[in-house]
Chain A
Amino acid sequence: MTGTIVIDQERCKGCQLCTLVCPQHVLSMATDTLNARGYAPARLAAAGCTGCAVCAIICPDVCITVYREPARARRGPEVAS
């Protein structure tokens, strides 16, 4: 896993735009719950998020925070030569 997102479930209005633009197709809408305002919120539903932030850029309600591993952390610690 190189990235992940946190969706503010109470702020989401269930417009589904994030699920349509996600290049990894790892987002889906909740089918078993509604938030306090009556919307079925979006969820990270599968592994594979790269932290590309495309979902956050299209989100009209600014409810997605994106986290990503820096490239250096993925490569492992620098080895002195």
Chain B
Amino acid sequence: MLQEITPVMLPVYERPAALAGVHTHYCPGCTHGIAHRLVAEALDELGLREQTIMVAPVGCAVFAYQYFEMDGCEAAHGRAPAMATGIKRLLPDRTVLTYQGDGDLASIGIAELIHAAARGEPFTTIFVNNAIYGMTGGQMSPESLEGQRTSSTPGGRDVQRTGFPLKVCELIAGLEGTAYVVRRSLHDVASIRKAKKAIVTALKVQQAGAGFSLVELLSTCPTNWGLTPADALTWVEEHMLPQYPVGDYKVSAAALRAAAG
């Protein structure tokens, strides 16, 4: 029998305890599931689950608070950084996360994000960038690429009419309040491993109170891109990576000390 587990075998990869045992509503192949798992694994590794509060966005991840075994709440569209600011200031000993997509964070919520970053609020934002509005039916988001076909730009995004894609990491890395601003991708196994390390580091930076931390994760939307899950990962590699290069955009001295400790 192929799937027999012999007595000497040990489990080397299991579902993290911080993930709730429920079915998610995400489409097949959607990398939100990978991002959720990485956040859960990072919290488990650092033993932070019992003291973590997650602020869910509006968008596909709107039910994120149901998918984690931790405290969570739901913010108005784009206002997760404002709500996280309030929670972190009232309960500074808790780990506070916002989990936001690009429609939520980069469009309606960009003001909240920029000011939270400029104030150096010591919470962590997980920014899932899939270059489209997923939940509402695949409209153009600020992150959509030039020429990208979406339901609101059927002829491809025309940057003369709708502007250029917004590079969030580059934008906020120049703010003095930010401590750790990095971009990672979820398009292959090696990249997913690096993304996990970045999330762990961001949480350590938060624990050290070093300032605002943000991890951007390049993600897929197979359904609204009109691609298979496998082709969507290739699309990230071929089209999104040149526009949104992965890398460390800001690692402050305090963040470096926190990451090493």
Is the Cβ of A20 less than 8 Å from the Cβ of B230? Answer: yes
Among A20, A45, A68, contact of B2 (Cβ-Cβ < 8 Å): A45
Contact across chains for A68 and B12 when beta carbons are under 8 A apart: yes
Write the residues of chain B forming the contact surface with A, with a CB cutoff of 8 angstroms: 2-6, 8-16, 19, 23-24, 26-34, 36-37, 188-189, 192-193, 222, 228-230, 233
Instruction: Return the contact of B30 from the options A57, A60, A69 (Cβ within 8 A).
Output: A60
Distance in Å: Cβ of B207 to nearest Cβ of chain A: 25
Contact of A60 among B6, B16, B33 (CB under 8 A): B33
- Whole-angstrom distance between the alpha carbons of A60 and B35 in the complex? 8
| Residues of B with C-beta under 8 A to A73 | 8
A56 to B28, CA, bound (A): 15
Contact B3–A21 (Cβ < 8 Å): no
Output the least CB separation between A73 and chain B (Å): 4
By a CB distance below 8 angstroms, the chain A residues around B5 are 4, 6, 67
Q: Which of A22-72 contact B (CB under 8 A)?
A: 37, 39, 44-47, 49, 51, 53-54, 56-62, 64-70
A14–B27 Cα gap in the complex (Å)?
A: 10
The 3 closest A-B CB pairs, nearest first, are A60-B33, A15-B29, A66-B13
A15 touches B13 (CB 8 A): no
Q: Which of B9, B189, B233 makes the CB contact (< 8 A) with A4?
A: B9
Q: Closest residue to A51 on the B side, CB-wise? A: B12
Interface contact A4-B29, CB-CB below 8 Å: no
B11 near A66 with CB under 8 A, answer yes
CA distance A65 to B14 in the complex (A): 5
Q: Mark A1-23, 1 if CB is under 8 A from B, else 0.
A: 10111100001011111001100
- In the complex, what's the smallest C-beta–C-beta distance from B256 to chain A, in angstroms? 27
Contact (A16, B230) CB under 8 Å given A21-B189, A58-B34: yes
CB distance from B260 to the nearest CB of A (A): 25
**Which residue of A16, A37, A65, A68 is within 8 Å of B23 (Cβ)?**
A37
List 6 A-B residue pairs with CB atoms under 8 Å apart, sorted by A's residue number: A45-B2, A53-B13, A62-B19, A62-B33, A67-B11, A67-B12
Contact yes or no, A53 B29, CB < 8 A? no
Q: Is the CB of B4 within 8 A of A4?
A: yes
Which residues on A sit within 8 Å (CB–CB) of B8?
Answer: 69-70, 73
B106 to chain A, nearest CB (A): 22
Whether A65 lies near B15 (C-beta < 8 A) is yes
Residues of chain B lying within 8 A (CB to CB) of residue A64: 13
**Is the pair B10, A70 in contact by a Cβ cutoff of 8 Å?**
yes
With both beta carbons as reference points, the residue of chain A lying nearest to B220 in the complex is identified as A60
B13:A17 contact, CB within 8 angstroms: no
Collect the chain A residues with CB atoms within 8 Å of residue B30's CB: 60
B33 with A17: CB separation less than 8 A: no
Taking CB atoms, residues of chain A closer than 8 Å to B229 are: 15-17, 60
User: B9, A62: Cβ atoms under 8 Å?
Assistant: no
